[in-house]
Amino acid sequence: MQRLNNIGSIRCIEKIMPLCLALFFCRTVFIGYKYLFSFMLVPCVVYSAYKLLKNGITKPNWREIWLPLLVCVLFFARFTSISNVMKESVNLLLIMYFVFFANMYYAEEKAVPLLKWIVRLTVMAGLIAIIKFGFVMLNLHIPLCDRFFEGEGFALVSDCNYYSLFFILAIIISIWLVINRQSNVVLSLSVNLIAFVNISAAMSRRAYILYALLVMSIGVMVILRHAKCKRFFVLNVSLMLTFVMIIFAVLGFSVKLYSPDLSYDQKNRYHKVYSLIDSSTSFLEFDIKQQRNYYKGTPINNNLFYNGDLKSGLKYWRAEHNPPDSIVTTIHNENATQFIRIEKKNSKYGWSLRYMGRPIYYSAGVEYTFSFMYRVVQGQGMPFKVGLWVKENSGYIDDLKKETCPYDSVWNICVVKHVFEKEQLNPTCFLNAQSPNTIIDVKDISLTCADTTGLPRYVDQLPDSVIHKYYSQDTINYFAASRTDRWRYAYELWQTRYDIKQMIFGQGFKYLEWYGEKFWNNPQRYDFPHNPIISSFLYSGIIGGVVYIAFLIMSLWLYWKRRKELGIFFIMYLCCMFFSMFSGSSHFSFPLFAFLSFVPFIEYKNRGETKENACQ
């Protein structure tokens, strides 16, 4: 491949590429960066193509990088449907582009712009997250919120673990920059402060562990006097230790931030953090306890749905959908009346409007009535279903019979009634399967119960013994599978759905559907083992799994050989590997980890060519 550094014309690509590459990585921490990345990528690709056509293409030397390329080939080899892993495929192609055209000597000053941009973009995302949190606390609307913010909690994205990882990397890089006199102490301490706020609020246990290890490592460096800037390290350690004490205060206070309209994933994250204080508390016990505290002294109205009049905006109401951008819900005001506008863009799956308020207990043999007003802004007929995600003897009741009548010239009334065959604890409800490319408005939502004997209406009103008995017999809570459950299921698939040939060569990406069916009861919602090594055995068999393990071992070995020159990248690689082994779908699902895996191979190749040129 023709080296772009040897081109004598204006090297504008060398100034653009570090920012473009950093934006490519930092999409993981803020989805808004993908738009800037797309804009920056165009001139980079055009410039690269122009220079290649102008100067010609020389035969590349693949000798030193054959192993990572073999991993890429085995990843592509067993596609059952390219759409199954489209994100990883795009990441892989972009990583390959940057590997060949970024052309940075990672141990020298040419890596500094990239590292600085990673820190800047991460810190900027952290500031946006803090501002966003302030808007949410003040119940203020954020413009373009659905387009730029995927995360439902403090983080800007849905994956709080990788989100937190970037702030840890920002701390590490800022320290490295100070040591190498590429930054000053004040800026580094500012990075520490913003990073700590985001790490603690994102509530990632993995990040807490890594952060604690980072504090201890810096403390050891100070004690052994290995730091070039001892005063800086003393200040940094003091700041970090103060932050660690604050973390424990946050852990104790975190349960007070509980709200019933949190997603299951957020509630589970609160429980995981709370378990650091009381490891004997199960998720169910924690959730019910917080519900009782939250609703203590709250009067019970006839409408079982909280905020059915929407006076509090979208509180307790949320869309659950896949892909994430398929449904957009916004709150509007018309004639002093609030209504929700639901825009369905694509995909027929998902709950267009799910109730996320006080968990409801449905008694058997009692009639329940859903009632709401709606109007179809775009679409024909009644482009949605009404029901609950409950399986009774006759099948799932997610499409109940609807009775409709006009309320006025604009709005219609919809009424749905149902008598449950057995008691149910807070199943998903109530608006689902909205047709693609439709828009509907909904208001005055209510759920009433015909019982007059004073039966419990909410889950938190039930005795603990009843709740535990129900959950021990029912499978509604299939979202609670842990990492180890997913790893064990991979072994189960290996035994039951793989023959000898498939064990050797793999079976492509069909396992994504099997995981979705197992853990989400929906084969259209893909899931995975959350470990790229296990995934490699599933999609490319023993051959692919062994090659991938060899690739990781070789990466570590080459990093270790050049640990003095590639020290900062080696540390970043280890941090990314720690997170990816518990969260990664494949090696290419987390772009930064995949790119860092190539660094020692490319640097080894670069150094080898430099020595050959010196000898000549």
- Report DSSP state, residue 298: P
Q: Tokens standing for 277?
A: 């204080």
314 band by pLDDT with thresholds 50, 70 and 90 = confident
Element (H, E) at 496: helix 483-496
> Please, which residues have CB within 8 angstroms of residue 6's CB and are 6 or more apart in sequence?
none
The percentage of the chain sitting over the pLDDT mark of 90, rounded to a whole number, equals 14
In CATH terms, 317-457 corresponds, of 3.30.9.10, 2.40.170.20, 3.40.605.10, 2.60.120.260, to 2.60.120.260
Contact (Cβ atoms closer than 8 angstroms) between residue 400 and residue 367:
no
Which residue from 313, 422, 429 is spatially nearest to 369, judged by alpha carbons?
Answer: 429
What is the rounded radius of gyration, in angstroms, for the C-alpha atoms of the chain?
Answer: 27
Before 427, cis peptide (omega within 30)?
A: no
57 band by pLDDT with thresholds 50, 70 and 90 = low
Max mean pLDDT range (135-144, 268-277, 372-381, 458-467): 372-381
Q: How far is CA 614 from the centre of its chain?
A: 47
CA–CA distances in Å: residue 58 to residues 46, 611, 614 = 19, 19, 20
Q: Quick one: pLDDT at residue 446?
A: 93
Residue 539, classed as helix, strand or coil, is helix
Contact (Cβ atoms closer than 8 angstroms) between residue 398 and residue 358:
no
15: left (phi over 0), alpha (psi -120 to 50) or beta: alpha
Q: Quick one: pLDDT at residue 462?
A: 83
Q: What is the pLDDT of residues 217-253, one digit of tens each?
A: 776 766 665 555 565 566 666 666 666 666 556 555 5
CATH 2.60.120.260 residue ranges in the chain?
317-457
pTM above 0.75, yes or no: no
Q: Quick one: pLDDT at residue 56?
A: 61
Contact (Cβ atoms closer than 8 angstroms) between residue 345 and residue 481:
no
Contact (Cβ atoms closer than 8 angstroms) between residue 562 and residue 603:
yes
Q: Tokens standing for 152?
A: 């439902």
Q: Quick one: pLDDT at residue 555?
A: 92
- Least confident segment among 208-217, 364-373, 442-451: 208-217
More confident residue, 182 or 587: 587
> d(Cα 122, Cα 23) in Å, to the nearest integer?
10
Q: Quick one: pLDDT at residue 238?
A: 63
Q: How far is CA 85 from the centre of its chain?
A: 16
Average pLDDT score over residue span 43-67: 70
The chain-wide mean pLDDT, for the chain, equals 78
Q: Quick one: pLDDT at residue 477?
A: 36
Contact (Cβ atoms closer than 8 angstroms) between residue 568 and residue 172:
yes
pLDDT of 568 higher than 80: yes
pLDDT of 530 higher than 80: yes
CA angle (443 as vertex; 442, 449 as ends), nearest 5: 110
Helix, strand, coil: what percent of the chain each, to 5? 55, 15, 30
CA–CA distances in Å: residue 484 to residues 207, 490, 521, 583 = 19, 10, 18, 12
Q: Quick one: pLDDT at residue 475?
A: 39
Contact (Cβ atoms closer than 8 angstroms) between residue 451 and residue 417:
no
Q: Quick one: pLDDT at residue 239?
A: 62
Q: Quick one: pLDDT at residue 1?
A: 34
Q: Quick one: pLDDT at residue 153?
A: 63
Before 600, cis peptide (omega within 30)?
A: no
- Helical packing angle, 12-26 and 112-137, nearest 10°: 40
- Least confident segment among 242-251, 287-296, 350-359, 360-369: 242-251
Q: Tokens standing for 546?
A: 């062994």
pLDDT of 283 higher than 80: no
Element (H, E) at 548: helix 532-561
Contact (Cβ atoms closer than 8 angstroms) between residue 596 and residue 102:
no
pLDDT of 474 higher than 50: no
pLDDT of 577 higher than 90: yes
**Number of Cβ atoms within 10 Å of the Cβ of 588:** 26
Contact (Cβ atoms closer than 8 angstroms) between residue 292 and residue 286:
no
Q: Quick one: pLDDT at residue 234?
A: 63
> Please, which residues have CB within 8 angstroms of residue 63's CB and are 6 or more apart in sequence?
605
> d(Cα 459, Cα 442) in Å, to the nearest integer?
26
Average pLDDT score over residue span 169-178: 88
Q: Quick one: pLDDT at residue 554?
A: 92
Which residue from 480, 380, 478 is spatially nearest to 435, judged by alpha carbons?
Answer: 380
More confident residue, 259 or 127: 127
> d(Cα 604, Cα 610) in Å, to the nearest integer?
10
Q: Quick one: pLDDT at residue 8?
A: 40
Q: Tokens standing for 87?
A: 């994100």
Could you give the maximum distance between any two Cα atoms of the chain, in Å?
95
142 band by pLDDT with thresholds 50, 70 and 90 = low
Q: Quick one: pLDDT at residue 298?
A: 75
Side by side, the strands of the sheet bearing 367-378 are 327-334, 337-344, 438-449, 367-378, 412-419, 403-406
Q: Quick one: pLDDT at residue 371?
A: 93
Q: What is the pLDDT of residues 504-522, one digit of tens each?
A: 888 888 888 888 877 776 6
More confident residue, 586 or 611: 586
> Please, which residues have CB within 8 angstroms of residue 217's CB and are 6 or more apart in sequence?
none
- Least confident segment among 52-66, 340-354, 458-472, 522-536: 52-66
Average pLDDT score over residue span 406-418: 90
Average pLDDT score over residue span 405-420: 90
Residue 29: exposure state from Cβ atoms within 10 A (0-12, 13-18, ≥19):
buried
Residue 64, classed as helix, strand or coil, is helix
pLDDT of 442 higher than 60: yes
Which residue from 603, 571, 577 is spatially nearest to 590, judged by alpha carbons?
Answer: 577
Contact (Cβ atoms closer than 8 angstroms) between residue 83 and residue 510:
no
> d(Cα 190, Cα 540) in Å, to the nearest integer?
45
- β-partners of residue 339 are 332
Average pLDDT score over residue span 70-77: 78
- Least confident segment among 29-33, 95-99, 268-272, 329-333: 268-272
CA atoms within 13 A on the CB side of 185: 11
More confident residue, 364 or 324: 364
Q: Quick one: pLDDT at residue 456?
A: 87
Q: What does the DSSP assignment read for 390-459?
A: -EETTEE-SS---EEEESSSS-EEEEEEEE-SS-EES--EEEE-PPTTEEEEEEEEEEEE---S----BG
pLDDT of 401 higher than 70: yes
Which residue from 444, 436, 441 is spatially nearest to 327, judged by alpha carbons?
Answer: 436
pLDDT of 445 higher than 90: yes
Q: Tokens standing for 102?
A: 């970024």
Contact (Cβ atoms closer than 8 angstroms) between residue 526 and residue 512:
yes
- Least confident segment among 320-334, 368-382, 412-426, 495-509: 320-334
pLDDT of 439 higher than 80: yes
